[in-house]
Amino acid sequence: MTNPTLRVVARIVALPEKVEALKAVLLELVEPTRHEAGCLKYELLQNQSDPTDFTFVEEWTSHDALNTHLVSAHMEATGAKLEGLVAAQPDIRQYNLLS
């Protein structure tokens, strides 16, 4: 496989009383991120059986594209807004597609 893309799964869990507030903050990331160079897919999911559980499913052209995203102005602003809304640090994992 030539030039494989990078997949990212980022799970964020809201404090039970902060679900709607966290959802609003996370939704603010979607459109600006989708317009970033190197972003192939950026989806926000909410668990049907546990509404505190949010997951981003992402696909990037490269590690460089992902790293640029991670230091973007909208990501930095969102990081500051997460305090008091999340139950734990976000669980962010990077994957390579095998088949």
DSSP-derived letter for residue 37 is T
Is residue 1, in this structure, part of any structural domain at all?
A: no
DSSP-assigned letter for residue 85: T
Residue 20 above 70 pLDDT? yes
Domain that holds residue 32: 6-96
- Split into its structural domains, the chain has a count of 1
| 88: in domain | yes
What is the C-alpha end-to-end distance of the chain, expressed in Å? 10
- What is the spatial distance between Cα 26 and Cα 13, in angstroms, rounded to a whole number? 11
- Note the pLDDT tens digit of each residue in 34-52: 999 999 999 999 999 999 9
55 within a domain of the structure (yes/no): yes
Reported as a single tens digit per residue, the pLDDT across 45-78 is: 999 999 999 999 999 999 999 999 999 999 999 9
Q: What is the CATH number of the domain that holds 55?
A: 3.30.70.100
Q: Evaluate whether residue 73 is within a structural domain.
A: yes
Report pTM.
0.92
Region label for 15, one of left (φ > 0), alpha (ψ between -120 and 50) or beta (otherwise): beta
